Structure formats: structure tokens, C-alpha cells
Amino acid sequence: MSRRTLFIVARVAGWLIVPLYVIGTCAGYFLTYSAGLWNEHAVVDNVESVMFSAGFGAFAVVGALLVARRPTNAIGWIMATIGLMVPIFNVGGTYASYVVATRGRPDALAVFGAWAANWYWLLMLALA
């Protein structure tokens, strides 16, 4: 891969990381609310969830900046990967909860989403 191609790919990836993080996080909240699993009385859980999202959002933002500015720096790609793993795999787990809550029975995608949501932590912690 030429240096110019790497620079273009890194720029596009850098611009997509943060919007993908926001979309994934919002999709998780939407599925939780749609399934009726959002507990308005558990303020501590909701605050914890928001802080969790903000903390891993920092991984996405810093990773996106490093990828866009220094595409050969592996730390930027690792931080961006961590920042994207959290919302993507959490949406899989939330989708599984949504399917079970609304249909009563999981489909194959829900089973995979639940499995991935429970196991991605090992890879994420190793990268962090």
C-alpha cells in the first residue's frame, strides 16, 4: 500500500470513527428503551451507563485524531478499535435482550450478539 493510499484510508477512517461510536451508543440506548428495559428509577445505573459511554468515547475521539493525523502510529489504531468495539458489541447484547423481551425467543443473530457481547471484553482489555 502506498503512503498516499494509507493517508486517504486513515483520513476516511478518522472521520468515521466518532460518528460510528455515537450511532452505536444511541442504537444501544434506543433498543434498551424500546424493549422496555430502561429503568427510570435506577438513576445510578443510568449515570453509570452515561459515564461508561463517555469514557470509551474518549478512546474513540483520541483514536480518531491519532489515526487521521498519524496513520502509521499503531496506538491510534488500537485506541480507535477499542472505541468502536464497545458500542458495536454492546448493541449486539442489547439486540439480544430486545429480541427476547419482544418476541420471547432469540433468533440466530440475537444468540451471536449475546455471545459476542459477553466475550469481547477479553480482547478489549488485552488491547487496552
Separation CA 119–CA 47 (nearest Å): 24
How large is the average pLDDT for residues 115-125? 90
By the 8 A CB rule, do 72 and 40 touch? Answer: no
How large is the average pLDDT for residues 79-107? 90
pLDDT surpasses 70 at 43: no
Buried b (16+ CB within 10 A) or exposed e, 56-70: bbebbbbbbbbbbee
In the chain, what are the domain boundaries? 3-127
How large is the average pLDDT for residues 8-26? 90
How large is the average pLDDT for residues 4-26? 89
* 46 vs 114, residue with greater confidence: 114
* Predicted pLDDT of residue 30: 87
Choice among 48-52, 60-64, 93-97 with the minimum mean pLDDT: 48-52
Other C-beta atoms lying within 10 Å of the C-beta of residue 104: 7
